[in-house]
Structure 1
Amino acid sequence: MKKSGTIFIGTALLCMMVLCIPVVSAADSGQSWTNNPEHITAMKAYVAYVSEDYQARMNGAITYIGTISGSAGTGDLTGAEQQFTATAASVQSMTTNDSIDEALTQMKGEVGTFHTDTQNDMKAYNGSASALHTSVNASVTADQATIGSLDTAWWTARETSRLDEFAHNDAIRNGALTNLTAKGIDVSQPQGFETQIGGLQPSLKSALDARDEKALESVNTQLGTLGKQFWAAVGADAWQARETTRLADFDKRTTTLQNQLTNMTARGIDVTQAQTILNQITAERDPLKAAFDNHDQDAVKTVDTQLTALYEQFKTIVQGYRQSAITHVRENGGNTTRNATFRQPAFRTAPAPSMTGGNTS
């Protein structure tokens, strides 16, 4: 009898320890839905449903243990059940995914405690597996109307949340495509994935309507795969957009720098040193393009660091050229003034005023 009781505990009641939220959403957009009010409502509905079902099972087990022990073995079970229901009730005031997940983890531990206590009582009072099974089933059947109602509420909330999440993610994906298209990027590849994702919406709704967990899991798996492919394609297109813009800016800047040197050369300035630096800058174009082609952000940063240093060197050298040119002009201007002074005629005194005026009288 003890053996059969242990087997039952390991099969019928142990299932209550597997307490977790079923798949409500799928990561088909790269966006989190976990704290959306509709998702929270669905999670609360799930906890309400599953806690009612588990409590009915616990009541059936407590009834049976009370019968075979003369109520002597029910104290620990009743305490575990009360703790379980209190935790479940607290979920209804929670507002975040993490807090509800923590509560579910706690509830799982409380179910585990109830299971262990039931197993010990079955051994202590030589319980019958079939009799325990009958008592648990009777308790669940008696509460079936409430359990069924809560199950329906859970699936309704789940469907509302999942379909709204699907629409929300669809809008995000299409927004990404519109943004890339506005930049002149060809989005045919990610658009193909988006079309496939959209085509799964009827299957998703059908699985939810049918309350078919396997079908729902299958659709969510497909959506998850396609979502990853979509965002990978979008990421590749985004890199292409960055590369196009960055290389255009690079070419424009190097052309401007080369024009500066050309103008200086035309004025007779030796720009050999600056030209060497500019040649080094131009040589970084291929590594920069390769970094973008490989979607290697670290390599992009490395090239940017090198370019920043080279641009600074170029700037310093060119400023030196300009300062030298200014100094040269000033010096030449000063020499011209001095030479003009030295070339003035020799100093001659003005003629003496006539003295005749003093003798007229």
Structure 2
Amino acid sequence: MSRVYITGASMVPVNRHYDMSLFDLANSALMGIRKTVEEIPEIDAVVVSNAYGQKLGSQSMLGYKISRRAGLSGKVSMTVEQGDASGGASIFTAYALVKSGVAKNVLVIGVDKFSDFPSKFVNDATSSTLEEVSYHEGISTSPYGALMMKSYMKKYDVSEDYFYDWAIRMHSNAVENPYAYLRFPVDKEVIAKSQEVSTPMRLFDIAPRADGASAVLISSQDYSKLSEVPVEIESVDFSSGEPSISSLEFPIKRVNVKPERTVMEISDTFSVSAAIELEAMGLAERGKSIKSLDQLNVNYSGGLKARGYPGGATGVYQTAEIYMQLADEFPGRKAKEVEEGIVLSTDDVLRTSFLIHFKR
């Protein structure tokens, strides 16, 4: 069984790219990989992470189409779809291919595009990740987030302004990240006056969807020297259920995470999602995680909340960001004296989760 490394990564700034197609975005991420890796090895497989291209753009077989445009015809190519956890699922797929020896170099490309479509169509697409009855009744994911928030507030006796600190911290981090979508600071007054989307959730409790593409090169130990600072994928754990995040407590304990030595990117679709995830992973006291952010190296990218939420590309962005942090190449806020990294890639309502552990 081979050891598995990340040997290159690139990102396109998350934004409303009206002048770029989904394929343009993917190509831009690929061009970025070619600039960061001096000698691109022979690629054995291409894994495309995409959640909504088939629903919004009426495009299937994106693995083949993106590979062909990249001049990689004849290679194994596939599309991985697991809603907004597609990025984590794609990294897991590439990890398994390299770990098993089936492939030595796998290119993972995460891409999704929303800005070409009215909100009605985007909401319809993202709601398709819900159960059939919920989808056909016209329910979106935001009411589920609101129910999670209400439940958390009742259980731990906190008010909605408890969650304001999360948005404030994410926007502060995003200001320093040139790849982020919402690069401006916010304060409690701005959040309190923002639109109420689904009681008690306000606009700043919800991650904004936008266009994006990111690419990661995953290689066997034979090719680890492609990167000046090899970053190893130590393990990938996954779970599913209602909610899936609770079953990740054991894996996080198994990898023995030391928060002060670990940089993390988690899936904060909603502010309450971040609180639930940090507490379920045992990284903060129940009901107090949002007040413990100074003790955690978490979402220095700005998270989904302020870096932006590029659908199926999200987990690939998270992986690229952790790689850049551990390789001391991240252009935004840098974590100090860290040796390990964690990516938690989930869907909107925490039913599917991928926990990826990295080590420098």
Higher strand share: 2
What's the TM-score bracket when you normalise by the shorter of the two chains?
under 0.3
Normalising by structure 2, what TM-score?
0.23
Greater RCO, CA 8 A, separation 6+: 2
**The structure with more radius of gyration:** 1
Higher helix share: 1
